[in-house]
Amino acid sequence: MVELCGLELAHPIINGSGTFDAIAARRAFGEQLLERFPFAAFVSKTVTLTPREGNPPPRLWELAGGLINSIGLPNKGLAGFLAEDLPQLAELPVPVIVNVMGFSRQEVAELVQACSARPEVAALELNVSCPNVETGLVMGADPDELARLLARVRPLTDKPLIVKLTPNASDVVAVARAAQDAGASALSLINTLRGMALDPRSGEPWLGGVTGGVSGPAVRAVALAQVHAVCGAVQLPVIGMGGVQRGRDALDLIRAGARAVAVGTESFRDPAAGDRVAAELELLSASADGAQLVSPQPF
């Protein structure tokens, strides 16, 4: 059992926002999805105030040990999400965390208020990787900008408010401190690193969205550094993520200070990755010296 800002989780492994669509997965895998749901909590894909189609394809580019995505946050918008998706998500056997993003403080406020009013929602996660259209600043890259956002929206809900930090910041620790001071309940990191790919034929940007976000094992070491730095600087519980494939990767993030760990890209390779990572982690943690299991052949 893991306690994460009031939520009781059966184990520390949850999904990264936007990397598992429980409703689609139920179509693909049927009811066994509910019987063996791979995560201890479900985090929704980012919900915005108005519906979004997302970016034009191509949206993916494979990298050494990872991929770039330029999905562009397609979603039904707040009203559509609350009416159609949330009731279905409520059937999952785990707490539902709704990830939201707004392009202004007012938008975020509306999202937080509306989601908070719904009993199916166990917690909110704020995606602050986008620019505030009013100030031009990326909400999560500037400590003051983030403080002002949280000052506006924190009072609007009693539910846990998790802030998901962007890794594309000069000083992620300063942003984390600002989030703590402004009343965040927890932090999650890392979101994707800004990256790009060119079409080998034309030399033009491959992705419809021109740039995209890098995820997967390629970012694991960057994630670990940021989680370690943030956990050393704040008291808030932290959800660590970035390139987790194995129990050992989750153990690293926990050793760096994370309370819970999210699996993202690895679920694309193995839809039951969350489950597998949780089992491997338990095995590692159970052994007095977890690490021995990692290196099966000490000389």
Ligand X SMILES: Cc1cc2nc3c(=O)[nH]c(=O)nc-3n(C[C@H](O)[C@H](O)[C@H](O)COP(=O)(O)OP(=O)(O)OC[C@H]3O[C@@H](n4cnc5c(N)ncnc54)[C@H](O)[C@@H]3O)c2cc1C
Ligand Y SMILES: Cc1cc2nc3c(=O)[nH]c(=O)nc-3n(C[C@H](O)[C@H](O)[C@H](O)COP(=O)(O)O)c2cc1C
| Positions marked catalytic | 130
Least distance to ligand X from the beta carbon of 32, Å?
23
Binding pattern for the stretch 231-270 against ligand Y, x by CB under 6 A and - elsewhere: ----------xxxx------------------xxxx----
Nearest to 17 by CA among 189, 223, 197: 189
Decide: is 191 part of the binding site for ligand Y (CB under 6 A): yes
Q: Which is nearer to ligand X, 142 or 266 (CB)?
A: 266
Cβ nearer to its own copies, comparing 197 with 260 = 197
Interface positions, 134-173, toward ligand Y (CB under 6 A): 164
Min separation Cβ 65 and its own copies, Å: 3
Closest CB 101 distance from its own copies, rounded Å: 18
Cα distances (Å, whole numbers) of residue 101 to 6, 23, 29, 136, 258: 22, 20, 29, 15, 23
CB atoms within 10 A of CB 126: 28
Report d(CA 291, CA 293) in Å as an integer. Answer: 5
Coil, helix or strand for 80?
Answer: helix
Residue pair 281/11 in contact by the 8 Å Cβ criterion: yes
Binding partner selected for residue 193 from ligand Y, other proteins, its own copies, none, CB under the kind-specific 5 to 8 Å limit: its own copies
Binding mask 29-68 for ligand Y (x = CB under 6 A): ----------------xx----------------------
Closest to 76 in 3D by CA, of 104, 98, 94: 98
Output the six-digit token pair for 108.
Answer: 């975020």
Amino acid at 293: L
Site residues, ligand X (CB under 6 A): 61-62, 200, 295
Both tokens assigned to 54: 């997302």
Q: Nearest distance from residue 69's CB to ligand Y, in Å?
A: 4
Q: Could you identify the residue written with the tokens 């494939």?
A: 245
List interacting residues with ligand Y (CB under 6 A).
16-19, 45-46, 69, 71, 73, 99, 127, 164, 191-192, 215-216, 219, 241-244, 263-266
